[in-house]
Amino acid sequence: MHPVATLDHRYVWHPFTQMRDWLRREPILLAEGRGAVLRDIRGREYLDANSSIWTQLHGHGHPAINRALARQMGKLSHCSALGFANEPAARLAAGLVQAASAEAPARGRGGARLAKVFFSDNGSTAMEVGLKLAYEYARRVKRIARPRFLSLQGAYHGDTVGAVSLGHIDLFHKAYGGLLFKSDRVMAPYCYRCPFNRARPERADAREYRVCGWECVSAVEGKLSRARKLGRPYAGFVVEPLMQGAAGMIPQPEGWLRKVAGAARQAGALILADEVMTGFGRTGIPSPSRGAGLFACHREGVVPDFLALAKGLTGGYLPMAATLTTEPVFEAFLGEYSEFKTFFHGHSFTGNPLGAAASLASLDLLLTPGSVRARARLERWMRADLATLWDLPQVGDVRQVGLVAGVELVRDWRRRTPFDLAERRGIRVCERMASRGVLTRPIGNVIVLMPPYCTTRAQLRRMVEALRESIAEG
């Protein structure tokens, strides 16, 4: 075993990992990266098929981001945001607000435009910021004594206590029930496993189906309406726009987000959009004439009250997050010092200059016409290549929204019978992909494909072919 692997086994505890399994094998030790290619400590190359857990937008070692970091390291690596400001953070806040405003629909499902940015460290903390702001806004402005929140079945919004409280995946969250505050859940759309048998099959399927009656929308509308009539309205409605990530890469049908956002507005609930995964172009380009397609909620004409961003914010270089919100929310915390209306929340690395410099460089890249065209082209390639998986009997569903895809493995595609999680079917497929030089990570029995935007046609074909061969092995 390599000496570094020995150190890892002896001292490191890995996230979301059964360490007994981990300690039975020598890990892949990644040492270098360039573009969509990673190289391990022994010199073997791999394709990064999930953008290093959904963060590497432009690929590894992008020269523009490297230059931005080098320039900033020569000036200021860090300073406190408590009582001080720095240029990269101020410029980044302006850039994020401008990007959100530029693509926001003129008459979307929203109230005031996004105008203020609170920086933090990761997706969990970005959601925690939005949760705390929404909670206190509901108390101060709406006079709701005990604000409540509604989120979706299968929701995952991070691992801090507040973010876990908004989540509804028992495998991840049930163990911490005694630590959490209660939030309510409501039916989420899952067309492939629609309980009303409304989903049109993508392949020759023996099941009959009925035309969709938007029962999943009615469930949300009913929950919000009943709460308001009972005098206990929800302070906030929390959603991942267009696709639920950790739930299994489950897309929302076109029109769903627009309809439920309208219902939330009518019920007086603030909308918290978790775009930690879906932000910065991941959900595709709506059309060449409608901007760079940076934010998923804008695809459905929705302007949220809170927009949580992380993962790809810095292009995958550094841990940094941002929560965008509106002037009315900001004003609820304004007052004289003696009133103690301050937002009492912060992080040591809030507004870190290095992270902000990397984020500015990434944002500039995303907004170039060349980048927009490249993402649209990569999306088309993915759709064509993924279609070749449908003839595999173990493939139940192939789901794609923009540059995010999930391939659900099943025991019987005609009956949509799932594999038991204990069989490690998704893990085994990803292990076989790694042996073929392609790295990704499953969500249960769903194999995720989320390539960096720099991925070439040949590299994408290799990713999908490795996936195909690995599934076919059984």
Say yes or no: 434 and 348 in one domain. Answer: no
User: Do 203 and 281 fall within a single domain?
Assistant: yes
Does 380 lie in the same domain as 260?
Answer: no
Q: What is the DSSP string of 45-62?
A: EEEETTHHHHT-SS-BT-
Domain contains 117? yes
In this structure, is residue 214 part of a structural domain? Answer: yes
65/358 Cα distance (integer angstroms)? 5
Q: Answer yes or no: are the C-beta atoms of 314 and 54 closer than 8 Å.
A: no
pLDDT at 136: 97
- CA distances 323 to 166, 329, 373, Å, are 16, 12, 28
Q: Tell me how many helices (H) and strands (E) the chain has.
A: 15, 18
What parts of the chain have a pLDDT lower than 70? 106-111, 197-211, 287-290
Confirm whether 66 is domain-assigned. Answer: no
Instruction: Out of 347, 367, 387, pick the residue that ends a domain.
Output: 367
SS3 447: strand
70 lies in a domain?
no
Same domain, 201 and 294: yes
Give CA–CA dist 241/324, Å, rounded. 15
Residue 144 gets which letter from DSSP?
A: -
Q: Which of 384, 376, 380, 404 is nearest to 286 (CA)?
A: 376
d(CA 129, CA 449): 29
Query: What stretch of H or E contains 262?
Result: helix 256-266
- Give me the CATH number covering residue 386: 3.90.1150.10
pLDDT tens readout for residues 295-316: 999 999 999 999 999 999 999 9
* pLDDT value of residue 343: 96
Q: How far, in Å, CA of 131 to CA of 236, rounded?
A: 8
CA-CA distance, 441 to 428, in Å (whole number)?
Answer: 10
Please tell me whether residues 350 and 391 are part of one structural domain.
no
pLDDT of res. 107: 47
Are residues 357 and 391 both part of a single domain? no
Radius of gyration of the chain (CA): 22
Rounded Cα gap, residues 286 and 322, in angstroms: 24
Residues 261 and 405 placed together within one structural domain of the fold: no
Distance of alpha carbon 159 from alpha carbon 68, whole angstroms: 31
Q: What number of residues does the chain have?
A: 474
**Closest residue by Cα to residue 389 from 375, 376, 372, 406:** 406
Calculate the alpha carbon distances from 215 to 85, 148, 150, 187, 362 in Å. Answer: 49, 23, 17, 9, 40
Question: Are 318 and 246 in a shared domain?
Answer: yes
Are both 86 and 180 inside the same structural domain?
A: yes
297 three-state secondary structure: helix
* 288: containing domain: 76-367
What whole-number distance in Å separates Cα of residue 459 and Cα of residue 462? 5
Nearest to 429 by CA among 452, 457, 406: 406
Listed residues 306, 333, 367: the one ending a domain: 367
Kind and range of the H or E run holding 235: none
The residues near 281 (Cβ < 8 Å, ≥ 6 apart) are 57, 292, 293, 294, 366, 371, 375, 402, 403, 453
pLDDT, residue 112, reads 77
- For residues 234 and 131, membership in a common domain is answered with yes
β-strands 114-120, 236-239 pairing:
unpaired
Please write the tens of the pLDDT for every residue from 127-154.
999 999 999 999 999 999 999 999 999 9
pLDDT digits (tens, 9 = 90+) for 94-122: 999 999 998 777 544 556 799 999 999 99
Tell me the per-residue pLDDT of 370-391, one tens digit each, with 9 for 90 and over: 999 999 999 999 999 999 999 9
Our CA angle for 228, 110, 277, nearest 5°, is: 100
Query: What pTM did the predictor assign?
Result: 0.94
Residues 376 and 363 in one domain: no
Q: Which of 261, 251, 274 is nearest to 199 (CA)?
A: 251
Please choose, from the candidates 449, 437, 447, the residue with its C-alpha nearest in 3D space to the C-alpha of residue 472: 447
What Cα–Cα distance (Å) separates residue 385 from each residue in 399, 407, 456, 468?
Answer: 12, 12, 13, 10
Return all residues near 419 (Cβ < 8 A) that are at least 6 apart: 409, 410, 411, 425, 445
Yes or no: say if 313 and 321 are a contact pair by the CB < 8 Å rule.
yes
CATH number at residue 237: 3.40.640.10
